[in-house]
Structure 1
Amino acid sequence: MADVVIAGGGPAGRALARACARRGLATVLIDPAPGRRWRATYGLWADELPSLPESAVACAPSSALAFGTAPHVLDRQYLVVDNAGLRTWLDGGHDVVAGTVSAVDHGGQGTSVRLEDGRVLAAGLYVDASGARPRGDRYEQTAFGAVLPAEDALRLVDEPDTAVFMDWRGTESGFLYVLPLGDGTVLVEETSLARKPGLPLELLAARLRARLKAAGLASRGREERVRIVLDVPVPRRGRTVPFGAAAGLVHPATGYSLATSVRLAEPVADSIALAWDRGPAAAASAAHGALWPSSARTVHGLRRHGLRALCGMPPELVPVFFDHFFTLPVPLQRAFTSGREDVSGTTEAMSALFRLAPWKVRKHLIGWPGLRRSR
């Protein structure tokens, strides 16, 4: 019998498996395809995960830009993750089982985890790190990308070795994301900020190919498809412990989650280990408390309201909104994008943005709860 069984072999699941194993918990990770490479391109702000080793960094672009209706230099170091290096860093100390979970049965002293092939694993604690399921009633961020030689990407971005966080120029219905990958190639990605349901990938692919054709380019390399569920609510306490995207750790307004999931693995594992002697139910409750203290629940609610405000704006105003967001002082930008438990910083950022914005944008922000809190 394993102490902890974790379903999901992505970065979130592996980070928590490593952390639990380091605390002396017998840990099993269930991965549908343990040998499969991670195909997604992960990026993060360096200050979100200072423990990330150099071996897990593929590229540290010399500058980061954003374009609303005007260019903005982002005064934060942006990193592109080396997936193989990240995986090596996160592996170790736990067992890996190839399979997919079909059913989970919680008993008084433990849990039975049934796999699709009929095998059953006995666990003290079960963690679901298998991701958030797309549903028609949830907002999604979708994107379609292509990897180009760096010299081709210069037709889209004026400066080499530059990450473009978002570029709204030339379109009001989505933005371009441009990311050097550190190997002489660049990912260019046509992105839909948020819709319910998400914008179809086929439409984004057509938009990207049209954009490339207008620049005299063609997609010749690897393509990337992205679908991120944005507005997962705070999970209820229960015997199953959700983690990563399944736990709502995706930022509702940006779609980022990697740094948050990896960073939280350590305190969540601490909480499980400290409560272990009191039984599986106590360990599950402790893990939930470590994931969702009251400050994090408040900030998550503010961010979800921010998502809804953005989605309620006419498309032509969204670039204007981001023009003003990127003129905020960096500490306020960081508070909203990365301050998961920073209630005062998040409300201050929302209030400052409201004061800066023109009335045509402001009227769509009047219902922000952050404004009510700051008065």
Structure 2
Amino acid sequence: MLKHAKRNLILLYTISTGMILTLVIGLLFYSSIKQAITFEKNIFQNAIFSVNYFIQNETDLTHSQLSEIENQTHVMIDIQEIDPSYKGSLSSKTNREFLFKTLKNELNKIVIAVNLFEDSVYKNPIVTIKGEKHDYYYGTSLTFPNEKETIYILYYLDFSKIISLKTVLTYIFIEVIGLLLLFLLSNILVKKALIPIDINIQKQKEFVAAASHELKSPLAVIQANASAIKFEPSQASFYIKGILNECQRMSRLIQDMLFLASNDSHRWTIKKELIDTETFLIETYETHISYCHEKKQILTLDLPKEELPPFHADKERLSQVLAILLDNAISYSPAKSVVTIRSFIQNDSIVFDIEDHGLGIPNTAKEYIFDRFYRADPSRSDKKHVGLGLSIALEIVKLHNGKISLKDTVHGGCTFSVELPIE
């Protein structure tokens, strides 16, 4: 499914950006054509000035002079009203007579003429006419003051100059290269953008696999005890006790998974209240002292001489965090070792340390210690710890905008630190 989405995203990105690129190139191409057309019109206007200059400075133009003017200015001249015998020297795709006839018809439709040459000559607007062989021309006429003598001028529009094959191929090449680069870029960007989703899906798969594995164990024990009751009814109370223990274990595991799932979907919130720090720590100490004695360990509470200020937090959830850290410290520390609860102020934050002197956590495992279902020592058969506690603690601390970290304890063991901002 993700591969299909990735392919669609790449295609969508390439098409959308490709359309923008095509639009930009199209505008550039159109602009270059407009510039080429403007250039051709300027050439024609310069030719008109040149023709006017020659005609006004020559009292008696010969056919050879007119032909020379045509060759120099690259325009066709018609002077039928002055000299009907002149047939012109430049050839055209369409018959010259047809072209000049078409020009005269077009100019006759225009009523207003423009006085261009200081009352010495009147120039009609430039018009575009089409030949019989899909050839196009600029055309106009020059009318002299007596309004009896008019010459007509045509200029061939060479579209191979306006839209050259080289220019077209250049723009096509730019378009193809641009689309290829956009495709490669979209491929890279989409893959990078989907990396968190890939990681999340992989984590979900691992989470489901681990959860299934953890749930199989108590279910197997429950099934075995239930079967044993059938064959040994006299020992039913013993087997029922095992079933109840495994049911409690499953209940804790399911609650932990529901909490993490709720937090992942952002449907879980905290309810902050003002907490008296020292009272909170003393309650935490008193709650875990008996469990620590049961494990033949020493639990100490280390508070600074200065009174700790109160802070805002969700008391129930923060108690859960410290309970998780203390439970791990007590469970993985040897008998007669010391577990310490410590608190102090640092950088406008209140810090809670849970310090133990157990075996510690290897450096290779520290970066994974907060991952779900991860256990630094997978060989341990402790059914109480399934590897979700530290993940839950991390999520709760994040919801408080705090930080949780791990460091080695001097002389062995590890210390977990929870740092919460003082509001």
Give the TM-score taking structure 1 as reference length. Answer: 0.18
- Tell me: higher relative CO, structure 1 or 2? Use CA pairs within 8 A at least 6 residues apart: 1
Which protein is richer in strand relative to its size?
A: 1
Structure having the higher Rg: 2
Which protein is richer in helix relative to its size?
A: 2
